[in-house]
Chains A and B, each alone.
Chain A
Amino acid sequence: MKCRVCREPAIIDIRRHNANFCAEHFVRLVHDQTRKAIDGFSMLEPGERVLVAVSGGKDSLALWDILTELGYEADGFYVGLGIGGYSDRSGDRVRDFARERDRKLIEVDLRSDHDFDIPTAAHVTRRVPCSACGLSKRHLFDRAALEGGYDAIATGHNLDDEAAVLFGNTLRWQTEFLARQLPVLPARPGFPRKIKPLVRLGEREMAAYCVVRGIDYIVEECPMAVGNKHIGYKEALNDIEDASPGSKHAFYFGFLERAVERFADALPSRSDDGGDIALCTRCGTPTTSEICSFCRLVDRTAGAEPVQLTRKGRPIDA
């Protein structure tokens, strides 16, 4: 196998591009694809400040590295989720990355700052852990970005993530979710712009990028997410991709080009001047009810007996 660009020995094959790359030209490909997504979807203007939501996993640490390499002022934001040793190890990866590259990292810890953690929230609310986790991270990212005066929040969602979410939303015809599934969500009162610069890159490419760039990420899967539907959708899509390379790209980008606008009327009407949206009486976040969903979660969960976890982060009595 030879690199498509320089004909030197390749280190990776990317079947949907029908091409192989050496380390140098693979890194260039990843940077070029990210730049193409940022420019093509008008995610960032030159000189804008961006807050990168980092988990310690491959996608978010790679994204932080790529945005920095592309010349953006990119700081990191990490939420300690309290998922036992898994959270300890992922937090260490994030802090090591920031220290080694001299980047600014903002941290919030759910247990120390809000008196709850994700396993306990899942137990108290009797909902899947990913629900409380996503809700908490979205709320805290939004707040940190607004308080820090950042122009946008960037997340490490890649092509596989977006294709899997699209697959799930389509299976159930979740029209409101389909209408919202865009690589950029513009800012509105109380919420910063949200961007997904990795949508042109697959999950395997992001892991490979970390190996090539020497980024030490947490390889183990979140113990709360193991076996969830989202991962099952990814495996199903990879079976299709294996038989027909390029399917995931065609599915997601075909949706963006030809379908997403057809779901626009599924969005609830929302005034952009913020006039008909109340502010949460606890934290000031715009909300449709008196107290926002994060503060309601804190109300229900804070102070509850913490769920005990194994060293790997699985609930002991599960």
Chain B
Amino acid sequence: MKSWGHVEAVAGRLSTLARQQRYNVHEEFRWPQSLPSDAYWMSPELTTCYGTSVWDRLSEPERLRLSQAEAVNFFSLNVHLIRGLIGEVADRIYTTRYPGLSEFFHDFIHEENEHMWFFARFCELYGGKVYPTRAVSSHASAGHEAIQDVVVFGRILIAEELCDVFNARMATDDRLPEIARRINAVHHQDESRHIAFGRQMMTALLQEAREQAAPSELEAAGAYLFRYISACVRSFYNPSAYADAGLPTPLELRGEVLNHPYRSTFHREILGRTCKFLARIGLPGEEALVW
């Protein structure tokens, strides 16, 4: 069993590492005035139409435009995810519940704020906008505080691990412009620390929830998190991005690609590691997951 003392010790080591690796975000990147229109901005294998009959029908210029719009969509999703998680972590800093984690939370918020800045800058410079979120805000869930935190830190971990798979692959993809590769690489490096913390945190929180909360509450939280995985994956399929890429009938296109069996296989592949971890620590509710 992982104690809170263990989580605090890990967080302390990660904070030290974060401070040793700190960079000036305003000097870290060279921002060209524009990006080549005849290049992929996102690895084609990571676009939402890849592996489907839609991809087969697309011309090369359409594939390029799709990868460009989806690069902006992917970075926009990061902006919205980060905004939400900064709020949740800020709500927990200097509380009596996590007195030993406030230093780490400072570093976490600092880094996430900078990530949000470079993602949004890319979107605005090269896509002309940050795509709005399609999520409708809701009130925080009630219940035992350990359960609330399982949900909050579970959401953060899932979003970070999902985006990290994309970042890691695109960080070394020579087909992408340097600024796109660099953003993915820097984010991947910082997120490896956040993910290491998130896994320790979730292990400890789940243990606490099992000891203190009603089993039905934990079941509901687990099912919620597995449904959150499904919702995260679906948010990549944005009809506005398809329209911006000049693809016809974007709503029908979303339905066609979402229903293609290759996409389920791809979703399982990119989130397999996360699901295995959640199963290993005993989070219930995996049957709620829809690929």
The finding on whether chains A and B are genuine partners in a shared complex, rather than unrelated, reads: no
Q: Which residues of A contact B (CB under 8 A)?
A: none
Q: Which residues of B contact A (CB under 8 A)?
A: none
